[in-house]
Amino acid sequence: MINTATIFSSPAIRLLIGLLAWLPIYATATNVMVQTPLGDFEIELLDDAAPATVANFLDYVESGAYNGSFMHRSLEGFVIQGGGFNFINGQLGNVPRNPPVANEFNLSNLRGTVAMAKIPNDPNSATNEWFINLDDNSADLDTQNGGFTVFGRVLDDGMNVVDAIAALPVANVPNLFPVLPVIDFSGGVINAENLVFTTIDVVNTPPEFGINLGMAGSWFNPATNGQGLVFDVVDTSTTKLLAAAWFTFDINPPGAGDNDGFGSTQQRWFSANGNFSGETAMLQIFSPSGGVFNDSGFMVNRGDPVGTMTVTFSDCENGEIVFDFDSPEVSDDTVEIRRIASSALCQAIVNGDLTITE
């Protein structure tokens, strides 16, 4: 109990594709979820603006140092603050402090931003305490003490929860918490249920998927087993192109007099190409003629488009194709496709372990 009358004691992958180079990439942005008795809210950590501060904050979160911590300061129209104290098994304690982190003031202290608290007149003194701006405090907090480092922002409707915490009455714990936000407190002894505890966990969001160079290769239709497509991908700042060509494994080649089978001049096959965005590509389908295998005398004629196809990938190993042919001789259809070769390269790009530059 707290008595208001007392003072407390991936394996590496190498690949050369034309003039493209593979380069390492920094870790992607991280979000954390803050659970409180009044509801939960999510914070986006701004790695690019304050990388050392974000790393410092995540160290506290991931080590469990914030377990049992609570909001200990609430100033109406200004900030709510936490991270400095915990209350575990009926005992008040201090959240253990890591070494101070260098100031990284780059963003203004606007409403909904999250920043680090500091010792007065010491810009590089931030350790474990953090606060949320309830209003636009840039005129004050951007100019004093080297500027207060903003390292996150509350997402979506999370400020409704923050405002609810800020609207709680405050109690004065002499010499310690002059403006302590409290829940259902009418005086006397402050119990654990009166405190605004903050449980903080990293939000494990899957990486955003999109078509990338690692998806090039062979894919097959499991319904027909031996039929599929070979994809090629061009992905630069100016061009995003997916190309496809059908293939068939024919284990029964035609006889000498059969002009309709594999390798004959009557063979019909398709190719397609078009632009992509995200996980979807819209391709034009062509029906080339000629090009008998291993016969240089036959020239391939690409011809005019004969239809369209929409390719949508759900991940690096699965997708779906919707065909729309112009001719009634070829049926429209929706087919499932799966990858044949390893998806490690594709997944490394999606995860951000590899990036590509022109």
**The last residue of a domain, from among 203, 231, 266:** 203
Residues 226, 125: one domain? no
User: Between β-strands 85-88 and 150-154, what pairing exists: parallel, antiparallel or unpaired?
Assistant: unpaired
Q: Quote the tokens at residue 304.
A: 């005019």
Taking residue 6's Cβ as centre, other Cβ atoms within 10 Å add up to 11
Instruction: Report whether 57 contacts 45 (CB < 8 A).
Output: yes
Residues 151, 236: one domain? no
Q: Has residue 81 been placed in a domain?
A: yes
Q: Has residue 20 been placed in a domain?
A: yes
Average pLDDT over residues 173-181: 94
Residues 165, 217: one domain? no
**The last residue of a domain, from among 203, 238, 265:** 203
Q: Has residue 302 been placed in a domain?
A: yes
Residues 188, 45: one domain? yes
Confidence of residue 18 (pLDDT cuts 50, 70, 90): very low
69 compared with 20, residue with greater pLDDT: 69
Distances (CA, A) of 112 to 200, 205, 269: 17, 22, 58
User: Between β-strands 150-154 and 113-116, what pairing exists: parallel, antiparallel or unpaired?
Assistant: antiparallel
Q: pLDDT (tens digit, 9 = 90+) per residue, 124-171?
A: 999 999 999 999 999 999 999 999 999 999 998 999 999 999 999 999
**pLDDT (0 to 100) of residue 36:** 97
Q: Has residue 333 been placed in a domain?
A: yes
**The last residue of a domain, from among 203, 223, 240:** 203
Residues 193, 306: one domain? no
Mean pLDDT for the chain overall: 84
350 compared with 7, residue with greater pLDDT: 350
Q: Has residue 25 been placed in a domain?
A: yes
Residues 185, 262: one domain? no
**Interatomic CA distance for residues 268 and 8, integer angstroms:** 85
Q: pLDDT (tens digit, 9 = 90+) per residue, 254-307?
A: 555 554 544 444 455 688 999 999 999 999 998 776 655 566 665 667 778 889
Q: pLDDT (tens digit, 9 = 90+) per residue, 203-262?
A: 976 677 899 999 999 999 888 766 788 999 999 888 999 999 886 655 444 555 554 544
**pLDDT (0 to 100) of residue 25:** 30
**DSSP assignments along 244-303, one per residue:** EEEEE--SS---TT-SSSTTSTT----EEEEEEETTEEEEEEE--B---TT-TTPPPB--
Residues 134, 248: one domain? no
Residues 64, 125: one domain? yes
Residues 16, 155: one domain? yes
From the list 333, 342, 340, 336, the residue with the least C-alpha distance to 221 is 336
Residues 41, 163: one domain? yes
* Number of domains composing the chain: 2
**pLDDT (0 to 100) of residue 232:** 94
Residues 185, 115: one domain? yes
CATH code of the domain in which 183 resides: 2.40.100.10
Residue 19 Rama label (left phi>0; alpha psi -120 to 50; beta): alpha
Single pTM value for the model: 0.58
Q: Has residue 208 been placed in a domain?
A: no
Q: Has residue 39 been placed in a domain?
A: yes
Q: pLDDT (tens digit, 9 = 90+) per residue, 51-81?
A: 999 999 999 999 999 999 999 999 999 999 9
Average pLDDT over residues 45-54: 95
Residues 34, 175: one domain? yes
Residue 70 belongs to domain spanning: 2-203
